[in-house]
Each structure stands twice: as structure tokens, then as C-alpha cells.
Amino acid sequence: MEPQSHPDQTRTDIDSSHRRRSVEPVLMDTSEVAAMLNMSTSWVYREASKLGLKGYKLGRGRNAKVLYKRAEIFKWLEQQRIH
């Protein structure tokens, strides 16, 4: 038996709502990177440029947020793989 739908809702609306997927974020903040790598945020700030991770600064002063591209984090991790 099919679920009941709103009379104004078309079949394509129902189908597309079932197909929606969660979107992975492109950018990660410093605390997310630190948690993923099991390191401290101060380590991420200190080592990011040495690791080739480019940060994107949003905001000014103490409230500024540094974000990193998720793909670059995973690329760096792959380079650390032991063969």
C-alpha cells in the first residue's frame, strides 16, 4: 500500500524527496580537523602550513574562523599511508 500524499503533491515531488541525500561539507573548521586527526587544535594551527594545508580565514580578529578543504585533508592523509 502506498503512503498517502497531499492532494497537491505530484508523484515527481514524492520521488525527488526520497532521492535527496545529505550533502558533505566542503570545508572543515580547525576543531573538526583536529578531531578527525585525533590531534589538538593548536597542533592543526601550528602544522597546517607545514603539511601543505591551506587555511581560509573568515572574519577578523578573535572571532576569525579558519577553514580547510575536506578534500585536501583526505589527500594529505592518503600521502601518510604506510605501504
Cα 76 from Cα 51, distance rounded (Å): 7
Tens digits of pLDDT across the chain (83 residues): 555 555 555 555 555 555 666 777 899 999 999 999 999 999 999 999 888 899 999 999 989 999 999 999 999 999 989 98
| pLDDT for the residue 27 | 95
| pLDDT for the residue 55 | 92
Angle at which helices 30-37 and 41-51 pack, to 10 degrees?
90
| pLDDT for the residue 23 | 75
| pLDDT for the residue 4 | 59
| pLDDT for the residue 22 | 73
Answer yes or no: are the C-beta atoms of 32 and 66 closer than 8 Å.
no
| pLDDT for the residue 37 | 92
